[in-house]
Amino acid sequence: MKMPKPTGPKPQSDVVRHARLTCLVSDEEMRIIDSYLRKYGIENKSRWMRETLLAFIHRNLENDYPTLFNEHDMRR
């Protein structure tokens, strides 16, 4: 019996990333980041940075999504 091919989005582990994103931080900022990662037991800094950045962007995009009416009109 053949198993059907999975459909839908690929699991996170199957995603191949080719684009590199680089930013510089000060020594103090690096100490803050490292302290946070230690405190919360985060071992994969790259994944944490990527998920944190994308979550921030996604949240802002949802908040900025255009609506038919402005907030004042909807609260009447």
Give residue-wise pLDDT tens across range 5-42.
Answer: 656 666 666 788 899 999 999 999 999 999 999 999 99
Residue 48: other Cβ atoms inside 10 A: 15
Q: What 8-state DSSP symbol labels residue 13?
A: G
Cα 35 to Cα 9, 65, 73, distances in angstroms: 34, 35, 45
Give me the residue spans of the domains in the chain. 25-66
Contact 37/45 with Cβ under 8 angstroms?
yes
Model-level pTM?
0.63
